[in-house]
Amino acid sequence: MNKIKVCVVDDNRELVGLLEEYISSQDDMEIVGVAHNGQECLEMLEDTDPDVLLLDIIMPHLDGLAVLERLREMKKGSFQM
């Protein structure tokens, strides 16, 4: 069975840790990337191909909505918004 690949992006490091812990405990899910701001997220997505992107809206450097806009511009077909 293929695991669901998840990336978590949030500037709240405590929340990210909790999400990582929970998702990693699921048999059918795995964390493939973590970022703490929008710019890190875009860089991370160059190297990962997640099935799910958990994305905070309000973050430093580049907010979540701007990340979605950039992804749309990049025409990343693997992301469904």
Q: Residue 5: which residues within 8 A CB-CB, separation 6 or more?
A: 30, 32, 48, 49, 50, 51, 52
78 pLDDT above the threshold of 70 = no
For CA atoms 45, 48, 51, 55, the dihedral sign is negative
User: Within a domain: residue 44?
Assistant: yes
What is the tally of structural domains in the chain?
1
Q: What are phi and psi of 16, to 5 degrees?
A: -60, -45
User: Within a domain: residue 81?
Assistant: no
Give residue 64's domain range.
14-74
pLDDT digits (tens, 9 = 90+) for 10-30: 999 999 999 999 999 999 999
80 pLDDT above the threshold of 80 = no
CATH number at residue 18: 3.40.50.2300
User: Within a domain: residue 55?
Assistant: yes
User: Tokens 């293929």 appear where?
Assistant: 2
51: its two tokens:
């099935």
